[in-house]
């Protein structure tokens, strides 16, 4: 049964023992800056009378039988306890700045506080001494139970019955600066704090195993994050566009960094990765403008597309021997990257891997590469030397396009095909081509024959 009173919409559920668990469905009351969600509602009718009201569905009479205290109303058993807040219960209440929630709350619905743009604080309070005088519904001698109400000061607590913060709970609460997550929270939902643009600090509780996708996305002022060692998974875009975050420690049990996890964290300088990480997926550190150095673990096997793209401060990086594949555009636009150390053996480097790395001077490609991919070194204006190992069979389109400082280049004898404009705009004075390409139309490679000597060689380096 749903009851409406003073802008509060409540749902009452009764068990066989006449005890009630109460859920707050919606707050539609007057605009106010501070709200306290009560932990109980007091029934003054004795049980048999209450059953008659419920049977008749007489909401008005039942409504009149209730006494409601919106602050501290102590209770004894589960009877009359507020245990749930429905989804979207406070959504869009832009005037609320502070909300007090009782420690009796067991469940909060998705998006319960979404769009409360002025909300600065969410505080859980203790419901007091359960040995105090309480309301009881068992007196058979009269129609109404006598009772006292106890009121007291708010007292903060992190010990609650709540186990989960659901999806979108505080999304777009732009004024929220801090949130003390209860100690026993085991799950934080998708986009729970996304768009909390004033959130500066978050301490995640021990026991948490997963940070869901976009949990803290666009928390632009977030600077301090404590991630417990119990975390095993960090979801897609979990910290994307957290422009003030400058330091992060990835827990030991995380084996994979998901897509765009830290993308556009423009202040991120230090990140500690542990030895269990096997793969870093697409765009994980893309646009981390302040990242100067990162030590990749020896366990790493895969680096996804555009993982470090547009990391403008990155100066050097070593790719571990364990890495078997790098995706497209991994270092695209890393304009200050000067040194890259690749493993001796690697199966694939994707298109445009070093596109726009204007300060890169030298690169020795691994063995086992099948091709120099499309645009791999496109726009690398300072590139002076590239060593291509025997075994490469194909040179992709625009592979060395506009490499102005590249004076000499040799394709190994294993090369069987070269795409159009492979060396167009390069500053080549000498290019050494294998005899296997003699029947090819080498003009399409983009060679400037007025400035470049073409030599035909039979053997590899």
Contact 40, 17 (CB under 8 A): no
CA-based max dimension of the chain: 112
Concatenating the DSSP letter of every residue in 207-264 gives: T--EE-TTTTTT-TT--EEE--TT--EE-TTTTTT-TT--EEE--TT--EE-TTTTTT
Q: What is the mean pLDDT of residues 442-459?
A: 89
Q: Which has the higher per-residue pLDDT, 275 or 223?
A: 223
Q: What's the mean pLDDT when you consider all of the chain?
A: 84
Is residue 273 one of the residues assigned to a domain? no
Is residue 261 within 8 Å of residue 234, measured between CB atoms? yes
Between CA 313 and CA 105, with CA 229 as vertex, the angle to 5 degrees is 115
Residue 246 and residue 290 in contact, taking contact as beta carbons nearer than 8 Å = yes
Pull the structure tokens for residue 78.
């589960």
Residue 50 pLDDT greater than 70, yes or no: no
Q: Give the model's confidence band at 416: pLDDT under 50 very low, under 70 low, under 90 confident, else very high.
A: very high
Q: Is 314 inside a domain boundary?
A: no
The verdict on residue 266 lying in a domain is no
- Residue 13 is part of which domain span? 1-162
Question: Tokens representing 175?
Answer: 């004024």
Lowest mean pLDDT among 61-65, 89-93, 148-152: 148-152
pLDDT for residue 170: 93
404 token code pair? 């102005």
Q: Is the pLDDT of residue 32 over 60?
A: yes
Is residue 403 a part of any domain in this protein? no
Whether 188 contacts 217, CB under 8 Å:
no
Q: Give pLDDT tens digits for 249-286.
A: 999 999 999 999 999 999 999 888 988 999 999 999 99
Of 201, 202, 192, 200, whose CA–CA distance to 172 is shortest?
192
Report pLDDT digits (tens) over 157-198: 777 889 999 999 999 999 999 888 888 899 999 999 999 999
Residue 129: pLDDT above 50? no
335-387 pLDDT tens trace: 999 999 999 999 999 999 999 999 999 999 999 999 999 999 999 999 999 99
Taking 60 as the threshold, does the pLDDT of residue 67 lie above it?
no
- State the pLDDT at residue 16: 54
Region 418-446: mean pLDDT is: 93
CA distance 71 to 92: 23
Residue 12 has pLDDT above 70, yes or no: yes
240 pLDDT more than 80: yes
- Which residue do the tokens 């102590």 mark? 74
pLDDT at residue number 274: 87
Mean pLDDT to the nearest integer, 193-210:
94
- Burial status of residue 205 (CB atoms within 10 A of its CB: 0-12, 13-18, 19 or more): middle
pLDDT for the residue numbered 6: 64
Per-residue pLDDT tens over the stretch 33-43:
988 887 776 65
Residue 306 lies in a domain: no
Residue 147 confidence class, pLDDT cut points 50, 70, 90: very low
Dump pLDDT digits (tens) for 391-406: 999 999 999 999 999 9
Counting every residue written for the chain, the total comes to: 461
Is 379 part of a structural domain of the chain? no
Q: What is the CATH number of the domain that holds 52?
A: 3.80.10
Residues 6+ apart with CB under 8 A from 148: 133
The residues, any chain, with a CB within 8 Å of residue 58's CB and separated by 6 or more, are none
Report the run of H or E that residue 60 belongs to, with start and end.
Answer: helix 59-64
Give the confidence band of 44 by pLDDT, cuts at 50, 70, 90: low
Q: Is residue 211 part of a domain?
A: no
Q: In the prediction, which pLDDT does 3 show?
A: 60
Find the mean pLDDT for residues 406-416.
Answer: 95
Burial class (CB in 10 A: 0-12, 13-18, 19+), 239: buried
* Whether residue 45 has pLDDT greater than 70: no
Q: How many domains does the chain have?
A: 1
SS3 36: strand
Q: Is residue 52 part of a domain?
A: yes
pLDDT greater than 90 at residue 142: no
């Amino acid at each position: 049964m749903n009851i409406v009173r003073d802008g509060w919409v409540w749902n009452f559920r009764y068990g066989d023992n006449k005890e009630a668990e109460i859920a707050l469905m919606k707050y539609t009351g007057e605009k106010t800056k501070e709200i306290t969600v009560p932990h109980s509602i007091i029934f003054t009718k004795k049980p048999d009378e209450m059953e008659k009201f419920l049977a008749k569905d007489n909401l008005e009479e039942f409504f009149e039988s209730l006494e409601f205290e919106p602050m501290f109303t102590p209770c004894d058993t589960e009877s009359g306890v507020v245990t749930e807040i429905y989804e979207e219960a406070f959504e869009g209440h832009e005037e609320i700045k502070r909300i007090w929630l009782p420690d009796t709350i067991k469940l909060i619905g998705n998006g319960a506080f979404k769009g409360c743009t002025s909300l600065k604080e969410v505080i859980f309070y203790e419901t007091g001494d359960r040995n105090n005088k309480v309301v009881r519904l068992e007196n058979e001698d009269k129609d109404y139970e006598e009772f006292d109400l106890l009121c007291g000061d708010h007292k903060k607590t992190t010990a609650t019955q709540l186990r989960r913060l659901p999806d979108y709970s505080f999304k777009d609460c732009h004024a929220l600066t801090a949130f003390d997550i209860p100690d026993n929270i085991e799950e934080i939902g998708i986009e729970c704090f996304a768009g909390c643009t004033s959130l500066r600090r978050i301490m995640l509780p021990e026991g948490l195993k997963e940070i869901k996708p976009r949990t803290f996305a666009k928390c632009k002022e977030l600077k301090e994050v404590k991630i417990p060692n119990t975390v095993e998974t960090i979801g897609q875009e979990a910290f994307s566009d957290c422009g003030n975050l400058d330091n992060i420690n990835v827990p030991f049990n995380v084996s994979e960094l998901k897509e765009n996890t830290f993308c556009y964290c423009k202040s991120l300088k230090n990140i500690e990765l542990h030895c269990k990480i096997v793969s870093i997926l697409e765009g994980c550190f893309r646009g981390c403008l302040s990242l100067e150095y990162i030590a990749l673990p020896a366990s790493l096997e895969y680096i996804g597309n555009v993982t470090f793209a547009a990391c403008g401060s990155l100066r050097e990086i070593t790719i571990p021997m364990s890495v078997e594949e790098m995706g497209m555009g991994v270092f695209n636009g890393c304009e200050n990257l000067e040194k890259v150390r690749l493993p001796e053996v690697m199966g694939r480097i994707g298109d445009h891997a070093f596109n726009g790395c204007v300060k890169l001077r030298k690169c020795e490609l691994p063995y086992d590469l099948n091709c120099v991919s499309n645009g791999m070194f496109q726009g690398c204006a300072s590139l002076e030397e590239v060593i291509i190992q025997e075994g490469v069979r194909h040179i992709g389109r625009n592979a060395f396009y506009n490499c102005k400082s590249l004076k000499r280049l040799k394709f190994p004898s294993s090369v069987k095909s070269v795409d159009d404009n492979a060396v167009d705009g390069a500053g080549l004075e000498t290019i050494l081509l294998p005899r296997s390409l003699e029947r090819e139309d080498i003009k399409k490679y983009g060679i400037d024959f007025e400035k470049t000597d073409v030599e035909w060689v039979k053997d590899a380096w």
